Amino acid sequence: MNSTLIQKLTDSYHNNSLFIKREDLLPFSLGGNKSRKAEFFFGEMMCGKYDSVVTYGSISSNHCRVISNKANVTGMDCYIISPSEKENMTLNRKMMLFLGAKMIYCDVNNVKQTIDNCMDALRKEGKNPYFIQGGGHGNLGTAAYVECFDEIVEFEKVNNFKFDYIFHASGTGTTQAGLICGKLINNKDTNIVGISIARKNPYGGSVVNESVKEYMKQVNCTPTLFETANFIDKYVLEGYGSSNEYIINTIETVFCKYGIPLDSTYTGKAFWGMEEYIKENMLFNKNLLFLHTGGTPLFFDMLNIK
């Protein structure tokens, strides 16, 4: 895969240099980290005799949009299990429907059972379904972000330069786990700061740590120093999808100043969290990289509401 763009935004971001890596510009299905992960899942699927794919996600899930699209490309039936929500329609959900994904709605407390039932029913029909965890969680999702970290290392090499910090929106923690594994494998000392968009500690951070361990075990790598994830849960507000005026201001500023769309659920929340973190920890004279994890359709949803 071609590396995504790393661009410098400014040399004067609270007295630091700020760069951004544009995962939102990945070429498939409006990009984002789910697009990078999907390549890995479908790569594995193409090696087996699968004819359908089952996954899980909310009404605003970028993951489910990308999987629906990829299923189309590869000629697989796509089943999306989703909690029945009273929330407004989103562009991601419209795209899932447009792409012909079969929606199965269930109660939030009944997800696992619904997934099992769906897989069983398909198998009884003689189908061979492939299951992807919500958000593309798991070793293959982690592998995708080891690859992304490699791209960052390559950029540093070519430019004879070093990032001190990488900030990004952390959800299931797979993106963060991949970056940490990449760091361990490459023997780097980059600070990786995951700004939680929903989960609280200790659960949120422990999921990242578990994912790191699992992946390192699979690739047979024993790092000399194990890293505990820096999973910051201070900016989740009232949880998934919740927002405030500071986040909205951040989104406006970044779009007006740099022409880059952020959203209030993931990247806008993380960008705001990064700003707070920089002030609080008095970071100074550092090279900062913000990983733009995508979610562009959510930017348009926000414009629609405003």
Closer of 135 and 182 to ligand PLP (Cβ): 135
Could you tell me the two tokens for 197?
Answer: 């968009």
Could you tell me the two tokens for 225?
Answer: 């120093």
- Exposed, middle or buried by CB within 10 Å (0-12, 13-18, 19+), for 72? middle
CA distance linking residue 135 with residue 46, whole number of Å: 20
Q: Which of 175, 169, 173 is nearest to 205 (CA)?
A: 173
* 259 phi, psi to nearest 5 deg: 70, 30
Interface with ligand PLP (CB under 6 A), residue from 29, 33, 82, 90:
33
CA distance linking residue 190 with residue 143, whole number of Å: 18
Q: Which stretch binds ligand PLP (CB under 6 A): 9-17, 30-38, 84-92, 251-259?
A: 30-38
Quick check: 135 binds ligand PLP (CB under 6 A)? yes
Task: Please state the closest distance from residue 195 (CB atom) to ligand PLP, in A.
Answer: 9
The angle formed by the CA atoms of residues 21, 25 and 26, to the nearest 5 degrees, is 100
User: Which distant-in-sequence residues (6+ apart) come within 8 Å of 209 by Cβ?
Assistant: 228, 229
Interface with ligand PLP (CB under 6 A), residue from 4, 21, 32, 251:
32
Closer of 190 and 267 to ligand PLP (Cβ): 267
Q: Which stretch binds ligand PLP (CB under 6 A): 28-36, 73-81, 111-119, 250-258?
A: 28-36
Task: Please state the closest distance from residue 139 (CB atom) to ligand PLP, in A.
Answer: 13
Closer of 92 and 287 to ligand PLP (Cβ): 92
Quick check: 34 binds ligand PLP (CB under 6 A)? yes
Quick check: 241 binds ligand PLP (CB under 6 A)? no
Task: Please state the closest distance from residue 66 (CB atom) to ligand PLP, in A.
Answer: 9
Quick check: 267 binds ligand PLP (CB under 6 A)? yes
- Exposed, middle or buried by CB within 10 Å (0-12, 13-18, 19+), for 263? buried
Q: Where is 93: in which H helix or E strand?
A: helix 91-98
Task: Please state the closest distance from residue 291 (CB atom) to ligand PLP, in A.
Answer: 9
Quick check: 261 binds ligand PLP (CB under 6 A)? no
The angle formed by the CA atoms of residues 284, 182 and 205, to the nearest 5 degrees, is 75
Site string for ligand PLP, 164-193 (x = CB under 6 A): -----xxxxxxxx-----------------
Closer of 273 and 294 to ligand PLP (Cβ): 294
Task: Please state the closest distance from residue 178 (CB atom) to ligand PLP, in A.
Answer: 8
Q: Which stretch binds ligand PLP (CB under 6 A): 86-94, 163-171, 180-188, 218-226?
A: 163-171
Q: Which residue carries 């791209």 as its tokens?
A: 151
Q: Decide: 130 and 162 in contact? Cβ < 8 Å.
A: no
CA distance linking residue 136 with residue 118, whole number of Å: 18
Interface with ligand PLP (CB under 6 A), residue from 17, 29, 62, 69:
62
The Cβ of residue 154 has, within 10 Å, a number of other Cβ atoms equal to: 12
Site string for ligand PLP, 74-113 (x = CB under 6 A): ----------------------------------------
CA distance linking residue 230 with residue 225, whole number of Å: 15
Contacts to ligand PLP by CB under 6 A: 32-34, 62-63, 135, 169-176, 266-267, 293-295
